Structure 1
């Protein structure tokens, strides 16, 4: 039906005329694309919007009269729109790349199961079957324990959600995992930032060992001040100082006790504003927030590369292609 209008300028002109007469929105018909999610749904919605004008034009031509949608076809299209329409906004939001998206997965799954895909008395048999199929697919897709754990961690470090969408049975496990990850992450960071200090310490220790192995020097007498200094160092060493793990646990507990941020708040901006209070949690959040919720951002990069490396520019070197793609995605 849509292809008939795409290849006929006469029918396009007639559609524009009938839109004015019937006071319909002056919209063109949409052709679906296999690689564009939601294009078929948009095509069906536009056909339903322009159904009166489309039917009048198709009826006037004997060769296209058979394409006029009947009641059954319209019921099918309406059922598809009812089932897929509410999901389109969420899938579009999860496919973004200019904001944090991975922490949205858990809330969207919860909302889909509890509201969007829940059985309704107004649902037709087709829309109900579609909702059940989608729900079963999502349940099967995210049942992997590792994937579920990753999504729980991303939700935990997001100040808008925290523990809200984490299963109560997994809450202690996720918090313990956050503490262990932070402990290992901070340990690696300290070792990476202080290689010179560790090397100088080892060098000084080796020099000291060599000096002790050398000529035996006369032992100097200890003064009273040296005894007091030793006592002070021993007392400081035995005093109760919080370990790294205890400090992380205290910071995580303090972070979870703070009220959740507004749903419209950017978690990266929130973490930047509260970095002084929760520096360790902010560091863990940045680790997870860089994960995209879907593969759409990487697919867009491939599309950009395909637009750059064409038949007329097939001899570009890989380094040059990398730079051109970087510029195209960041300018």
Structure 2
């Protein structure tokens, strides 16, 4: 007996006699809706057994009987996963170029997982998708990491399409990509920026001491309910928004910025609350508050840059070059009022130039910027870098044209030369054009792939830039026939993510799913739930 027929029989047995039998199609739609609710809202599978939820469903549809947890776990969820994965596999097969991000994560049950996200352009639209969250039970050597990535990519049959793998700067990840997978490795720019700012902060002893004192304030208000209540009371008396204090994570500089910004926002009610508390840490002095205020505008451009480069819904690789130049310009326009601020600005500027400035000379990063019609050569800080990337694009385009010409010639049917015929008056007159026709044929014969590439790139660079707010993929959709070789390159380089943040975001979802209430989820089930939370609407 099929599951649908069995479910209908159950409805006849337990449903109201006044209601109509529910069709198998309707049951299937409601089953799918339950699965979708569970994966999108991070609900435990046991929710189908919860009395309140069952009562709600009965009130909405008395004829519908919820699937059991076992049916949900062993049938509906795996079937939805398999169907959705097959849809994704079909989309990936139609993509010519795919880039991936990867990272490791440890869950609350001490299991370690490797995440993989895919990034590609399909139908001239940028796509980001979760490929897998795989448990890794062996050491995280480069060889084992590469083997895990290969297994996932082979499951989708996309390993040969991988252009670049973006990860953090860990040695094992870089070695896995470069030496074992033999793919191009792109170091996460957000991770590099985090190291850059952390280095600048840690190089400033007075600032480090001030941050330690600020954390003591934050920790006190997070651990003392009396102090929290006093802070809320003062905010109410001052008629200001009730804002909670923010705790930073020392290894994440952006959380340091958020902590400082919140302290400055609640400075007045916080100061009043500290004055009324019997046991409270020492408040910051006037000069210390001034230092915090001074460093916020210095750190803010880096925070905005991190957010922009970590996006998943738009192209990010091509904006690295102009935004790093924008960061450097923003820093130059800031005039600190304290010695601590001045020192931070100087260190940040120096480390920015050393760690991030070199990205302009990175071939992958530079080509992406050049092939973005919003920037082309204008995004580069120096003419030499702009000239270098133009030459790199010409060289790659020459190979594309050469390969295209070889294919075209191999597909051409060889025709038998026409046999000479007796000369007529018409043929006699065409002899007058022989010199010209031979000269044109000679010139066309010398129209090499390199010459064609030079002409094509020259035409591309001489057309105007599109508006910065416009979609570069729409431009390439409209110009795919005008610049077919450059279009192919654009699809390749614009699909690469600037950071490995998409993989890190998967772990945030995994944290919601692998909660204390669901700590016994198997790795396979966890993978299915995380995968569907991203891809169920395919």
Kept in 2, the 8 Å contact 1:6–1:12? The answer is yes
The yes-or-no answer on 1:136 pairing with 2:350 is yes
Q: Give the 3 Å change call, closer, same or farther, for CA 34–124 of structure 1 in structure 2.
A: closer
Report the Cα offset of residue 279 of structure 1. 2.3
Report the Cα offset of residue 276 of structure 1. 2.7
CA distance in 2, matches of 1:77, 1:303: 30
Q: Higher helix fraction: Structure 1 or Structure 2?
A: 1
CA distance in 1, matches of 2:441, 2:479: 33
Q: Which has the larger displacement, 275-284 or 300-309?
A: 300-309
Residue 283 of structure 1 corresponds to 488
The yes-or-no answer on 1:270 pairing with 2:499 is no
List structure 1 segments (4+ residues) > 6 angstroms apart after TM superposition. 234-237
CA distance in 2, matches of 1:53, 1:284: 56
Residue of 131, 143, 159 corresponding to 2:373: 159
Residue 168 of structure 2 corresponds to none
* 1:162-186 CA distance string (max 9 Å, x none): 1113321233332221011123245
Kept in 1, the 8 Å contact 2:398–2:452? The answer is no
Paired residue total: 301
Report the Cα offset of residue 77 of structure 1. 1.4
TM-score normalised to structure 1 length: 0.77
Residue of 303, 321, 326 corresponding to 1:88: 303
Residue 215 of structure 1 corresponds to none
Q: Secondary structure at the match of 1:165?
A: coil
Q: Give the 3 Å change call, closer, same or farther, for CA 328–246 of structure 1 in structure 2.
A: farther
After TM superposition, the structure 1 = structure 2 runs for residues 19-30 of structure 1, keeping only pairs within 5 Å, are 19-30=235-246
CA distance in 2, matches of 1:30, 1:142: 29
Kept in 2, the 8 Å contact 1:29–1:43? The answer is yes
Kept in 2, the 8 Å contact 1:79–1:127? The answer is yes
Residue 105 of structure 1 corresponds to 320
Residue 312 of structure 1 corresponds to 520
After TM superposition, the structure 1 = structure 2 runs for residues 243-254 of structure 1, keeping only pairs within 5 Å, are 243-254=448-459
Q: Higher strand fraction: Structure 1 or Structure 2?
A: 2
Q: Which has the larger displacement, 140-149 or 119-128?
A: 140-149
Report the Cα offset of residue 118 of structure 1. 1.5
Report the Cα offset of residue 260 of structure 1. 0.8
Q: Structure 2: where are the runs of 5+ without partners?
A: 1-216
The yes-or-no answer on 1:240 pairing with 2:447 is no
Q: Which has the larger displacement, 244-253 or 98-107?
A: 244-253
After TM superposition, the structure 1 = structure 2 runs for residues 182-201 of structure 1, keeping only pairs within 5 Å, are 182-187=397-402
Higher relative contact order (CA 8 A, sep 6+): 2
CA distance in 1, matches of 2:315, 2:358: 22
CA distance in 1, matches of 2:259, 2:359: 38
Kept in 1, the 8 Å contact 2:232–2:242? The answer is yes
TM-score normalised to structure 2 length: 0.49
Residue of 79, 87, 104 corresponding to 2:294: 79
CA distance in 2, matches of 1:84, 1:328: 34
Q: Give the 3 Å change call, closer, same or farther, for CA 89–282 of structure 1 in structure 2.
A: same
* 1:102-153 CA distance string (max 9 Å, x none): 2212112222223x21165443211121111111112111455885333322
Residue 204 of structure 2 corresponds to none
